[in-house]
Amino acid sequence: MKSDPTFWLLARATGLTAYALLTTSVLAGLVVKSRPLGRAIKAASATQVHRTLALLSLAAVSLHGLTLVLDRTVDIGVGALVVPGLAPYRPLWTATGVLAGELALLIYASFTLRRLIGVKNWRRLHYLTYLAFAGATAHGLMAGSDSGRPWAGALYLAAVGAVVAATVWRVLVPPARPTPPRRPRMTQGAT
């Protein structure tokens, strides 16, 4: 009797989806201050898109974990989703993915705690996004069953390239300054 591959396929799809959403969330976060499109995107809109993408990424990570638990290809228990190293499948790289997911959750929770912990500490915590992204990349490359395929390699290369390029842009290009409000022009003869 052949096993049903549904959950294995869903696990792969949700893992790749989570990675794509994480990448776009990181890029949206970098756009908030650097604003490469000038004033075409308002900072508040970019922030909301960033937060929404981060939440969707966490939802996809949750689905990724759930489908791995439901799949019978590899025996992964619920505990392996929260305790790094419990998964029998490529334990180091699976643990890296668990840690990246937990770090991403902590960073997302910091949005709510921003006033409590202060903007300076919130920014410091937010720099850990790079570590979460690197961990997710390493997890995907080393534990992902599709990593050897050319399209998957291209996906990871494009994601890392885009994040590096956006980071360099943010570091080298000063943030867009808000334009002062226009004052009405006085016409001659106006009283």
- What integer pLDDT is reported at residue 1 of this predicted model? 42
- Tell me whether residue 71 is exposed, middle or buried, using C-beta atoms within 10 angstroms of its C-beta: 0 to 12, 13 to 18, 19 or more: buried
Q: Which residue has the tokens 């776009």?
A: 24
C-beta atoms surrounding 79 within 10 Å: 10
Separation CA 133–CA 83 (nearest Å)? 19
pLDDT in tens, 116-165: 999 999 999 999 999 999 999 999 999 999 999 999 999 999 999 999 99
* Global pTM value: 0.87
- What integer pLDDT is reported at residue 40 of this predicted model? 65
Average pLDDT over residues 58-75: 94
Is the pLDDT reported for residue 3 higher than 90?
no
Average pLDDT over residues 31-35: 72
